[in-house]
Structure 1
Amino acid sequence: MSNLLPRSGYTLPVFACAGAVAALRRLIAPTDSPSAVTLDLVQPAQEAEIPIAQLAPLPDGSVLAITHSDPGDNLDLTRHTPLWSVVAWGEADQTDVIHLEGGEGIGRQVNQGDAPAIYRYAKTVITHNLTPLIPDGKTLRVTIILPEGRALAERTSNAAFGVVEGLSLLGTSGISEPLSAPGQLEQSREWLRDKADQHRHLVFCVGENGLDLAVKLGMNPDCRVKTANWLGPLLVEAGQLAVEGVLLLGYHGKLIKLAGGIFHTHHHVADGRQEILAAHCAAAGVPLAITQAIFHAETVEAGLTLLRDHDQALAAQVYQGLAERIDARASAYVNAHTGQGLRVGAMLFNRQRQIVATSTIGQALFQQVLLD
């Protein structure tokens, strides 16, 4: 059996940037047709060599470069999806040196005036790598296209986060960590063992949002463990290591699965989020019509919105019940696999990173992991 760690890849902005660099080089010098380009990822401070699949001038004077996404050993629906980067000289009255546009397949942010879903890191890495190549007195128009983006977006929960009709050029860095690859579990267990040697109370964060929010809430950064989707195995590991308590800090659309006994939270393994939310609504006495609407909601975030629109107090009651249920199911899961007791508390946040529910044990554990 291989002991190799899972292979990291790169986030979508890196491939968009690589294509733009190749297209700009061809725009400047018609004989320059790179088969690969080397980028400064900026975050982290390292270089990456990205293959260019195709490169050609277009009739309007612009240049098109095509790359293909490679997220590494990760269960990612964008694997091998093409990214088109179209680069042209800018207009005479253009105020920015680089005008970045989202074309077909790049989502629109409905809460931001339909601005293209091209976020800070994408803008940073593109600006950083293209600016030194632009001749004096010239400006650029860069358009990023995801030909398969609109179709792929239908398989995501992007709409719940206000992004429609396409995917986002999202990422806080250029590296795509293989968080859902099976080989990542062993590395996560090593991180957990290291933390357990130093702290008796830990904070489990599924992803970057939880890691960031933990610090903003005043928690000790050294108590954080990035679990990715491997919550079940890592809770068991914590029980075996005699950790006293684990605070689960996560997006409610992930942690709600634990209330239904699902301890691997990647959607490729199991889902049932709306069903779990609807069951808790029924148990709390939410009217049948509202419960049915939540059951049929496209996302659990949409279900939460329906519930809050109906009755804020009842929504708080339902989510408090979910948080307590997560605690009970998680503790029972650890006990069933180890025979050990482990205090588990839940703290759930929504897509605005606002805490929507904290269990009783979660409140107590929160005090234990605060930075002194």
Structure 2
Amino acid sequence: MMEKKELRCGFTTGTCAAVAAKAAAAMLLLESRLQHMKLMTPKGTEADLPLFHVVMGPDKVSCAVEKDAGDDPDVTHKALIFASVEYFNGDESLAGSSFVKETSGESGALVLTALEGVGRVTKPGLSCPVGYPAINPVPRRMIFDEVDEIRRTAGYKGSLLISIWIPKGRELAEKTFNSRLGIVDGLSILGTTGIVKPMSEEALTATIRLELHMKAVAGQKKVILTPGNYGELFLKEKLNLPPGEGVTISNFIRKSCIMVKEEGFEQVLFVGHIGKLIKVAGGVENTHSRYGDRRMEVLWDCARDYLDSKEKETILQSNTMETAAGILKELGVLKPVMSEVVKRIKAYMTDWTGGILVEVITFSNTLGLLSMTPEVPEMIKQYLTSDT
């Protein structure tokens, strides 16, 4: 048996920004050019990262750290995260329109600001105030602590201005959920442990939780859930709902239902392609293929009152749900079978949400709308005429 390879962890954007800021402060205050810098992450793992693009001046030093995401499929892998530290005379206008300021004992202020490629928060519900740079609390704390440590080591008690930027941040942010979360113009500086674990269910569900929480904070009581891109396109092209209205929940159907209940939502519209939703009709809580397929078996169970044994075999041998749906249409039973499918999905999701009103729409790429539960038209009307 082949031994399972242990996936390699990496470092968060927050750790990289803190390392760069610490190195820039050290080179400015200790007047010594460095090739790498160490710090201890909140997780207790030491980061020892090389420095790039070092520029040293008498009043300001800047450098970059290359993001290493380990074996995590992170869009920021290999991105350069820059920091500069400079002497600061207290003129806060020099820090830009939004910044974070901290004082430490008898020393002067540390002022943190974000430049090109670092996102800006535009919606409430995140851990950073609206209008401020998207530098989360833990990375912010790391940056301040590391720079202050260098300042104390150097015996310097004056003020310093710390700037963070990511040259490709705006471009990379287009591949993330940032725009949906109300973060514009760049990436977030993230991290709670300082370490990037290879993409896990916890990371994905945390993203779903955050998006649901932000909608709840905005006062919304109704929410649209969709497994992925097909559902997003259907919402936009067929239901005329604006982009970002739905929350993409991937395979985490039951977990998302529980989150919806916990965030205080009162209504759910679940929209998705039949290839994914058919599993939910069989009570499958996580629709990832690692938990099994069962699509055709579930479809057959929904269709058993309408098909004979020969037709059953035809369904069970179908390769895709698109093919199976086409067969049901040819047999003249697509409508009642799909009605049973959405009925079962509604029942399971109502149970998982603890009794919240759930309505369901399913479709196929070739046949379009397949079925919806009875109250969907009224719910869609509410979405189109109400902000909540």
Q: TM-score, normalised by structure 2?
A: 0.55
Deviation at 1:9, TM superposition (A): 0.2
Q: Is the 8 A contact 2:9 2:69 kept in 1?
A: yes
**Could you tell me how far apart the structure 2 residues matched to 1:324 and 1:75 are?**
26
Give, in whole Å, the separation in 1 of the partners of 2:89 and 2:4: 54
Task: Show the counterpart of 2:120.
Answer: 108
Q: Which residue of 1 aligns with 2:261?
A: none
Given the alignment of the two structures, is residue 125 of structure 1 paired with residue 115 of structure 2, yes or no? no
In the alignment, residue 65 of structure 1 is paired with which amino acid?
C
Alignment RMSD: 4.0
| Contact preservation (8 Å) 2:226, 2:270 | no
Amino acid at match of 1:328: A
1:79 aligns with 2:77: yes
| Structure 1 ranges of 4+ moved more than 6 A | 210-213, 320-326, 338-341
Matched with 1:65 is 63
- Aligned position for 2:12: 11
Question: 2:272 and 2:72 mapped to 1: Cα distance?
Answer: 33
* Equivalent in the alignment of 2:195: 175
Cα 1:338–1:116, aligned 2, differ >3 Å: closer, same or farther? closer
* 1:256 aligned partner, one-letter code: T
* 1:318 alignment partner, one of 264, 269, 290: 269
Give the match for residue 166 of structure 2.
146
Q: Offset of 1:212 from its aligned partner? A: 9.6
SS at match of 1:144: strand
* 1:47–1:211 Cα change, 3 Å: farther
The equivalent residue for 1:274 is 232
- Distance (whole Å) between structure 2 residues aligned to residue 167 and residue 362 of structure 1: 34
| Mapped contact 1:320–1:358 kept (Cα < 8 A) | no
> What is residue 37 of structure 2 aligned with on the other side?
37
Is residue 362 of structure 1 aligned with residue 352 of structure 2? yes
Contact 1:63 1:88 in 2 (8 A): yes
In structure 2, how many angstroms separate the alpha carbons of the residues matched to 1:26 and 1:170? 25
Question: Are 2:290 and 1:292 aligned?
Answer: no
Residues 329 and 358 of structure 1: is their aligned pair in 2 closer, same or farther, counting only changes over 3 Å? closer
Aligned mates of 1:358, 1:18 — CA distance in 2: 48
Q: How has the CA–CA distance of structure 1 residues 72 and 299 changed in structure 2, closer, same or farther, with 3 Å as cutoff?
A: farther
**Distance (whole Å) between structure 2 residues aligned to residue 340 and residue 273 of structure 1:** 23
Partner deviation per Cα, 1:263-309 (whole Å, 9 max, x = no partner): xxxxxxxx324135469xx6xxxxxxxx1344xx267459xxxxxxx
**Which ranges of structure 2 fall in alignment gaps of 5 or more residues?**
93-100, 103-108, 124-128, 212-222, 249-265, 299-346, 357-388
Q: Kindly tell me: are residues 27 and 299 of structure 1, through their superposed partners in 2, closer, same or farther at Cα, counting changes over 3 Å?
A: farther
Which residue of structure 2 lines up, in the alignment, with residue 256 of structure 1?
226
Distance 2:11 2:203 in 1: 22
The whole-number CA distance in structure 2 between the counterparts of 1:85 and 1:145 is 6
Q: Structure 2 vs 1, CA of residues 88 and 299 (structure 1 numbering), >3 Å: closer, same or farther?
A: farther
Give aligned-pair identity as a percent. Answer: 23
User: Larger Rg: 1 or 2?
Assistant: 2
- For residue 149 of structure 1, what is the amino acid of its counterpart? G
Q: In 2 relative to 1, CA 326–146 (structure 1 residues): closer, same or farther, beyond 3 Å?
A: farther
Extract unaligned runs of 5+ from structure 1. Answer: 181-187, 189-203, 214-251, 263-270, 283-290, 303-314, 342-356, 367-372
SS in 1 for 2:187: coil
Task: Check conservation: 1:324, 1:359, Cα contact below 8 A.
Answer: no
Count of aligned pairs? 252
